[in-house]
Amino acid sequence: MSGKGFIPAALVCCAAFLALTCSSGGADKKVALKKIKKEPLTNGFLMAASCYSCHGPRGYSRGTIPSLSEKTPAAIEKAMLEFRNKKRPSTMMDRHARGYTPEQIKALSRHFGKN
């Protein structure tokens, strides 16, 4: 397959796969997949696919890792910038955050945050 639509389509498939494999309940999987299918293809959505493996589908974590869906976009952005600038202690997030520009962090924050 070639063309400009291949990479976004592949990322959507990855996000759907991660959402389905990372949650344990059958009903939760269906709800997560419906939300992903309705999600517009924004930069935040495409970048968020890698976040789902730890923070759960659409940011609804079922474990000890914080749920991003319960935080405001401003709180997520502040935390990510603190991780990025090594002003907040972490085990992994500082490394993840340094991989994003401030603009990308803002897009991710809008994607996950609760308005």
The whole model's pTM is what?
0.63
Tokens of 105: 């962090």
3-state DSSP call for residue 2? Answer: coil
pLDDT, residue 48, reads 86
Sign of CA dihedral 26, 109, 10, 94: negative
Higher pLDDT, 46 or 98: 98
Quick one: pLDDT band at residue 39, thresholds 50, 70, 90?
low
Q: d(Cα 2, Cα 86) in Å, to the nearest integer?
A: 40
pLDDT tens track for 8-24: 555 555 555 544 444 44
Q: Which residue segments constitute the domains of the chain, with CATH numbers given?
A: 6-112 (1.10.760.10)
Q: d(Cα 26, Cα 66) in Å, to the nearest integer?
A: 21
